[in-house]
Amino acid sequence: MLMIVLRFAHVFFGALWVGMMVMGTFFVGPAVEEVGPDGGKFMAALQRRRIMTIMPLFALITLVSGMWLFGRLAGGNMSALLATPMGLAFALGGAAALIAFVIGIAVMRPAMIRAQQLAQSGAPGTGPEIQRLRARGNVLGRLVGVLLLFALAGMAVARYL
């Protein structure tokens, strides 16, 4: 039963995390940038729906369940698991997802939130700073997106390597 719960949580929230992130980074982000100042209104509306809280929560569930599954798969012998192509693929994919999470939480999220706060304050002369923060968020978002796609690819094929 525990395995079913772990696998459900892992695959379900992992799919949502990657899907939301890829949609956000490769489609929504560039579209918002193209629209210009009006894009800020859209970003504020997204934030009101707590996207910046929901996504990290999905990510955390995926990471914790993934590490738990990895521990169970190893069955106490981590080096033996890592010596197999399957174990290595799960580990490399997991590491990519972990790095993506750290970049997202530590650098990307604060930049996006700060940009939003500045935009909402309406203070004069903040335009260039907002653009700079959004551009930084978008670049980091692309990196996070690529890392998550790598993790997804590793997870998808690991068992058949």
Q: Which residues contact ligand HEM (rule: CB under 6 A)?
A: 7, 10-11, 14, 17-18, 62-63, 66-67, 69-70, 73, 90, 93-94, 97-98, 148, 151-152, 155, 159
Write down the least CB distance from residue 143 to ligand HEM, Å.
Answer: 14
127 three-class SS? helix
- Please give the span between the terminal C-alpha atoms of the chain, in angstroms, as a whole number: 27
* Pair 140, 111: CB distance under 8 Å: yes
Least CB distance to ligand HEM at residue 101 (A): 8
- Pick 97 or 115: Cβ nearer ligand HEM: 97
Sequence-separated contacts (24+) of 140-143 with Cβ below 8 Å: 140/103, 140/104, 140/107, 140/108, 140/111, 141/21, 141/24, 141/25, 141/29, 141/108, 142/25, 142/26, 143/100, 143/103
Output 52 or 91, the one with its CB closest to ligand HEM.
Answer: 91
Angle CA(73)–CA(78)–CA(1) in degrees, nearest 5? Answer: 20
- CB of 120 vs ligand HEM, minimal distance in Å: 31
Cβ-based nearer residue to ligand HEM, 109 or 114? 109
User: Considering the complex, what minimum distance in angstroms separates the CB of residue 40 from ligand HEM?
Assistant: 29
Nearer to ligand HEM, 133 or 148 (CB): 148
The helix/strand/coil state of 126 is: coil
Q: How is residue 84 annotated by DSSP?
A: S
Nearer to ligand HEM by Cβ, of 11 and 107: the residue is 11
User: Taking the complex as a whole, how short is the minimal distance between the CB of residue 83 and ligand HEM, in angstroms?
Assistant: 15
